[in-house]
């Protein structure tokens, strides 16, 4: 998988934009960036698509902008010339796909059947758009297709919204989701960019599921930890679960038997997807302590600390179950 696809996976949501007025492209892009999504797929369903892409990439060269509904090689040339970094098609046209591959252009064709997927694999692709997602059976179909095609990643688009977003992203075969609920035509035409930012923030909140997992308290030794654990047990009414390095009082208070990271201790923030959360916070200007990263037996990231302390506490992200 190339870097552009990897970046799309870390972003998680690809706003699919139909724009009638290229003059609204830059404020739209700013609204998405302010909301936490530095990405957009501008569809070639209007005559303004090429100029919209050019406007956005000129103003925000670091934004990951692609062209959607691309069905001809001429459109590929126009999109790439305007600054598009990836091409998305509603179906799989071998001529268009090969044209992109020959020019090292990332292309994501639409596939909805095993035959489509096998053509994509034969062309050398490992990521396809699953379209129209809901009409073709949604999550259930993706899971069925992932069984024989385990090395293929899907980007479901069509009917994806804030209510079913995490159902899709919870599928191991799904790389990211395309959606337009935060960038509807009516909002763009009305110039309601504040609402677009609000909906984008809500989409990020839904996707990441950020929540307080637990608070960790540093102690000098196991005896001090035992005393503090007992007091919190009395106050909260929760039992103490004794461990080698720390005690948990219920699930939300961890009392360490030594002085761990942070002046006072640490705060753990749970998330549905730690890789996407890292990407999100990096975009906001936070830095991660890569040496603190802990992975599971399969090599999946489970825990990572921020470099910054907040209020005397070290802060780390932790992968938790969705919900």
Active-site residues: which are they?
41, 129
Give the span between the Cα atoms of 180 and 165, in whole angstroms: 12
State residue 39 phi and psi, 5-degree precision: -155, 150
Tokens of 156: 């479901």
Which residues lie below 8 Å from residue 47, measured CB to CB, with a gap of 6+?
A: none
Sign of CA dihedral 82, 88, 90, 92: positive
Spacing of C-alpha 48 from chain mean position: 28
Give the span between the Cα atoms of 260 and 225, in whole angstroms: 12
Give the span between the Cα atoms of 89 and 96, in whole angstroms: 9
Give the span between the Cα atoms of 114 and 127, in whole angstroms: 14
Helices and strands (H and E) in the chain: how many: 12, 17
Q: Are 76 and 96 in contact (CB under 8 A)?
A: yes
Tokens of 29: 């892009």
Which residues lie below 8 Å from residue 20, measured CB to CB, with a gap of 6+?
A: 46, 48, 185, 188, 189
The secondary structure element, H or E, covering residue 166 is helix 165-169
How many Cβ atoms sit within 10 Å of the Cβ of residue 231? 11
């Amino acid at each position: 998988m190339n870097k552009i696809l990897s970046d799309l996976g870390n972003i998680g949501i690809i706003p699919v934009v139909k724009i009638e007025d290229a003059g609204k492209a830059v404020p739209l892009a700013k609204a998405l960036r302010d909301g936490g999504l530095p990405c957009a797929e501008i569809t070639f369903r209007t005559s303004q698509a090429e100029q919209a892409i050019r406007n956005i990439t000129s103003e925000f060269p670091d934004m990951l902008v692609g062209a959607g509904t691309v069905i001809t090689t001429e459109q590929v040339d126009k999109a790439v010339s305007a600054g598009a970094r990836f091409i998305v098609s509603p179906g799989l046209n071998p001529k268009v796909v090969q044209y992109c591959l020959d020019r090292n252009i990332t292309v994501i064709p639409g596939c909805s059947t095993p035959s489509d997927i096998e053509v994509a694999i034969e062309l050398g692709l490992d990521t396809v758009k699953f379209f129209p997602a809901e009409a073709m059976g949604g999550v259930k179909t993706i899971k069925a297709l992932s069984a024989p095609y385990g090395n293929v990643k899907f980007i479901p688009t069509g009917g994806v919204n804030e209510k079913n977003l995490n159902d899709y992203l919870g599928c191991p075969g799904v790389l990211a989701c395309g959606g337009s609920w935060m960038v509807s035509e009516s909002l763009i035409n009305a110039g309601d960019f504040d609402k677009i930012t609000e909906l984008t923030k809500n989409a990020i909140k839904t996707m990441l599921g950020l929540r307080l997992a637990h608070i960790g308290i540093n102690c000098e030794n196991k005896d001090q930890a035992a005393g503090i654990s007992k007091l919190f047990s009395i106050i909260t009414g929760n039992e103490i679960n004794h461990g080698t390095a720390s005690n948990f009082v219920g699930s939300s208070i961890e009392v360490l038997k030594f002085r761990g990271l942070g002046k006072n201790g640490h705060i753990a923030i749970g998330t549905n997807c730690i890789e996407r959360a890292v990407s999100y916070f990096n975009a906001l200007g936070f830095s991660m302590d890569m040496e603190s990263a802990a992975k599971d037996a399969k090599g999946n990231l489970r825990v990572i600390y921020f470099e910054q302390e907040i209020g005397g506490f070290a802060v780390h992200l932790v992968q938790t179950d969705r919900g």
